[in-house]
Amino acid sequence: MRRRPPNQRERLDHGFTLAEVLLASAILAFSVAALTQALVIGQAHAYESLHQSRAVSLLEATMAEVLSQPYFDPDNAAIVTPGPDAGETSRGLYDNHDDYHGWSEAAGALTDATGAAYPDEYGRFARSVTVTYDANVATVLSRSYPGVSVTVTVTDDAGGQWTMTRLATEPAS
């Protein structure tokens, strides 16, 4: 067996050089940054989708509430002026489609048809309803049908707006 003289340095070929470590660190940092950015963008898209879904659910719930009421006022079918009738001072007293004309709820104060408050997730939204009578709300096979146009609008605190309009024809007499 051969021995080296004690004054000769041994060359070690174990481990990585400083340049290799720096290059690997840079690649790792770039990869982590790219992955983090992709996750943040994904979360933003998921939040926006959820926000849109909440707005649409408010539109649908409000429209369903309005259209669940009778077309004609049960107390006086001859009333065709949009808006609540005398004595109908709150939403719980509305008894036909057109009573909702001009109704609105401010952001942070939304309630469902029973008066229960919506969860905090809906606090950024406000909503309003417009009802208009039209002698020609629908035409089918050259025949015109009178009715109402119900428009529900939902807005958010960032200026977003969603609108839904439904036509309800006057029931046949």
Q: What is the pLDDT of residues 88-103, one digit of tens each?
A: 888 989 999 999 999 9
What percent of the chain is predicted at pLDDT more than 70?
91
Return the ∠ at Cα 164 (arms to 45 and 105), rounded to 5°. 85
Q: Report pLDDT for 42.
A: 85
Q: Burial letters for 6-36: b for 16+ Cβ neighbours within 10 Å, e otherwise?
A: eeeeeeeeeeeeeeeeeeeeeeeeeeeeeee
How many residues appear in the chain?
173
Mean of the per-residue pLDDT values for the chain? 87
CA 156 to mean position of chain CA atoms: 9
- Per residue in 45-58, pLDDT (tens digit) is 888 889 999 999 99
For residue 116, name the pLDDT band (cuts at 50, 70, 90): very high
If one counts every other C-beta atom within 10 angstroms of the C-beta of residue 132, the result is 13
CA gap 62, 81 in Å, rounded: 21
Reported as type and span, the H/E element at residue 34 is helix 18-67
